[in-house]
Chain A
Amino acid sequence: DQQVKQNSPSLSVQEGRISILNCDYTNSMFDYFLWYKKYPAEGPTFLISISSIKDKNEDGRFTVFLNKSAKHLSLHIVPSQPGDSAVYFCAASAMYSGGGADGLTFGKGTHLIIQP
């Protein structure tokens, strides 16, 4: 049972336009959400995060929106640049349930392709 879902395996966007990557989750205990970017043969690079007490967080060209009632978050990249072409992973974590850390739960990723 996938607790974090990224339903679009790939997304193609023209350079300069907005890229919107979506992520849904099922576990209501998740309280912290992150987006990572991954190039081939490299580890995931942290992009931006958001706590469940907020509904928006912005960092330069990257904005993450959280809709807790819909259990949905999205990453907006404006404007999209060729270097943004990569696989983007949505991840979530929950407060300890008493059994220790559960780590990050990841989606399967969305491959973003920025076309010139």
Chain B
Amino acid sequence: ETGVTQSPTHLIKTRGQQVTLRCSSQSGHNTVSWYQQALGQGPQFIFQYYREEENGRGNFPPRFSGLQFPNYSSELNVNALELDDSALYLCASSSGGASQETQYFGPGTRLLVL
């Protein structure tokens, strides 16, 4: 069974640029959630995709957008990068869109915005 994978592992961008982060869900999972973890904080929910549709969203502006593909892999896109977007971005997959499904995390992508 393949776990959750993310790419790239590290990324450096400058303010105003755009970035795309990628996630492959665990085998058998159809739900992907994205989180942002700033230094010294717990992960914060960005949004969730279930069967290729956005299924819920946290308190993040519209410049954070996403996609889920038929194979359930997912992308997180961030436009007009700001310095505060520097963080660890985590992807998690689960086997359903319900609240009592355990989410399994990938290793994360560390983004630095200069």
Residues 64-104 of chain B, each 1 if its beta carbon lies under 8 Å from chain A, else 0? 00000000000000000000000000101000011110111
In the bound complex, how far is the Cα of B44 from the Cα of A89, in angstroms? Answer: 12
B105–A101 contact, CB under 8 A?
Answer: no
Interface residues of A in 58-108 (CB under 8 A from B): 89, 91, 93-96, 99-108
Binding site for B on A (CB under 8 A): 4, 31-32, 34, 36, 41-46, 49, 51, 89, 91, 93-96, 99-109
In this complex, how many residues of chain B approach chain A with their Cβ under 8 Å: the count is 32
In the bound complex, how far is the Cα of B35 from the Cα of A102, in angstroms? Answer: 11
B6 to chain A, nearest CB (A): 8
B112 to chain A, nearest CB (A): 14
In the bound complex, how far is the Cα of B35 from the Cα of A101, in angstroms? Answer: 13
A105–B45 contact, CB under 8 A?
Answer: yes
A45 to chain B, nearest CB (A): 7
List residues of chain B with CB within 8 A of the CB of A105.
45
Q: List 6 A-B contacts (CB under 8 A).
A: A41-B107, A91-B42, A95-B99, A100-B48, A104-B35, A106-B43
In the bound complex, how far is the Cα of B103 from the Cα of A108, in angstroms? Answer: 18
